[in-house]
Amino acid sequence: MDLSLPRGIRDIEPQEHLLYERIRQAFYEVADLFNFKMMEPAPIEYLSTLSAKSGEEVAKQIYSFKDKRGRDVGLRFDLTVGLTRYVSSRRDLKPPIKLACYGGAWRYEEPQYGRYRWFHQWDVEIFGSASTEADVEVIDVCDKILRRLELDNLLIQIGERSVVEEYIRKSLRVSSEEKLIELMRALDKVQRKTEGELIKEYEARGVGKDEVNKLLEFGRLHGAPEKMIQVVNELQLKSSEGLGRVWDSLKSRGIANVEYNMSVVRGIDYYTGLVFETVDTRNPQLGSLCGGGRYDLLPKVFGRPDLSATGAAGGIERVALLMTGKAEPRGVVFVAYTDSSLRKNAVKLASELRSEGVKAETALEPKSLGRQLEDASDLGARWTVIIGKRELASGELTLRDMNERNEERLSPEEVRGRLKAG
């Protein structure tokens, strides 16, 4: 029988699952410290909801299908759409509404290194606050999660759509909305394409070489916030003021591993203000570990122009790749017996140990002591408690150190004390 899985779909096996749980735990703890409320939006939505912002195009990139009554539905492709749909339908909630979610999502895209058709995200969103402070809080919570996971070499790359827009309008004298978007798309490609490729591509679309060059020059601007604020000031862009406020708040929050980067614009039709991405500078091939920004348009599409929105998502698969080997299961104690008549005693002792918080396992089938010790060793047990007839009669147990391969006869209380100590 064919036991394979559909392309891009996989099991999360125990070793990787340990990492995911460590990330989830860190996320919950940190999001809670910031007083985000944890929830999970529906995994299946009407296609009309999923495509509300990005149009019918989205159906090609997601798992969409007709349910048994012929309605078009789809699996969520992120957590933001569902959370925004939820908040938009809840007019009783008082802003700011801070929501957080950890969960899986699905996209029907070609699998790549660290990217699957089923993937997991952490997600934080703040609805109903248009302030810079909300944008920075989102950056802050993501940064604290990654730090709690002891990741380093992290660089937070911050862009600001209003600065880019002002630059294009003012310095490139662009007034048409269409051309503005076209040029922002070019900027988005600065980190992935060569200058030559971009000039060629945009000339074909009727954008002059000089304009593209000027834009690329702007897009290459990146560096420490203080320096960049000065540079943008010199370009006489009014929107530079916002960059100053962001930096003030970042400093108050003790966040310094930041650069301002004019090429960071992210999803063009989606974001509306500050945007950011966090990368591991030693593992740039992984892409961003998390990213997000302000997206005031989505709640508007859902009928809530009063709710502005800012948020970010972290990619669990990619973060887990950086943590390989960083989560080990807790050690187990094996309880063995020398004679099958003592099995009950072993089952009982293992049960008592567990009730005292000690991870304990005993053979499920009757086995010789030798086979039991083999099992204990395969399970990576540091200690094996051996119940023997004579020892039991004298009220003692044998404690075997599996590493040192030596044994001691101890009272049950001594054994427990030893095992509870680790």
Which residue shows structure tokens 């122009």? 305
Read off the DSSP letter of residue 341. G
> Binders of a second copy among 116-145, rule CB under 8 A?
117-118, 126, 129-131, 133-134, 137, 140, 144
Least separation in angstroms between CB 344 and a second copy: 5
Residue reference for tokens 């007709």: 66
Distance CA(179)–CA(165), nearest Å, equals 11
State whether residue 161 is helix, strand or coil. Answer: helix
| The one among 151, 268, 321, 379 contacting a second copy by CB under 8 A | 379
d(CA 109, CA 77): 11
- Binding a second copy (rule: CB under 8 A), the pick from 200, 205, 348, 420 is 348
Secondary structure of residue 392 in the 3-state scheme:
helix
Q: CB-wise, 10 or 200, nearer to a second copy?
A: 10
* Cα–chain center distance at 21: 11
Q: Are strands 154-160 and 258-261 parallel, antiparallel or unpaired?
A: parallel
Instruction: Identify which of 79, 129, 50, 77 has the alpha carbon closest to the alpha carbon of residue 301.
Output: 50
Residues 78-107 that bind a second copy (CB under 8 A): 82, 85-86, 88-89, 94, 96, 99, 104, 106
Task: For the segment 217-236, give every residue that binds a second copy (CB under 8 A).
Answer: none
Query: Between 275 and 304, how does the x/- string for binding to a second copy read (CB under 8 A)?
Result: --------------------------xxx-
22 Cβ neighbours under 8 A, 6+ residues apart: 149, 323, 326, 327
Provide the minimum distance between the beta carbon of 223 and a second copy in the complex, in angstroms, as a whole number: 24
Q: Between 89 and 368, whose beta carbon lies closer to a second copy? A: 89
Which pairs from 377-384 meet CB under 8 Å and 24+ separation? 377/402, 379/332, 379/334, 380/331, 380/332, 381/331, 381/332, 381/333, 381/334, 382/331, 382/333, 383/333, 383/334, 383/418, 383/419, 384/333, 384/334, 384/335, 384/336
Q: How far is the CB of 82 from a second copy (least distance, A)?
A: 7
> What is d(CA 341, CA 6) in angstroms, rounded to the nearest whole number?
48
Measured from the CB of residue 170, what is the shortest distance to a second copy in angstroms?
29
Vertex 119, ends 63 and 121: CA angle to 5°? Answer: 115
CB 180 to a second copy: min, Å? 26
Q: How far apart are CB 183 and a second copy at their closest, in Å?
A: 31
The size of the interface with a second copy (CB under 8 A), counted in residues, is 91
What letter would DSSP give residue 115?
B
Question: What residues numbered 144-183 form the site for a second copy, per CB under 8 A?
Answer: 144
* Least Å from the CB of residue 203 to a second copy: 35
Give the x-and-dash track for 1-40 against a second copy (CB under 8 A). Answer: xxxxxx--xxxxxx--xx--x------x---xxxx-xxxx
* Nearest CB to a second copy, comparing residues 89 and 153: 89
Tokens 């302030």 correspond to what residue?
A: 131
**Residue from 268, 321, 323, 347 that binds a second copy (CB under 8 A)?**
347
**Smallest gap from residue 77 Cβ to a second copy (A):** 14
Is residue 399 near a second copy by the rule CB under 8 A? Answer: no
Q: Shortest CA distance to 307 belongs to which of 123, 84, 79, 111?
A: 84
- Antiparallel, parallel or unpaired: β 309-315 and 397-401: unpaired
Among 19, 45, 237, 322, binds a second copy (CB under 8 A): 45
Among 282, 354, 389, 420, binds a second copy (CB under 8 A): 354
Of the residues 51, 240, 249, 263, which one makes contact with a second copy according to CB under 8 A: 249
Cβ proximity to a second copy: between 218 and 276 the closer is 276
Least separation in angstroms between CB 167 and a second copy:
28
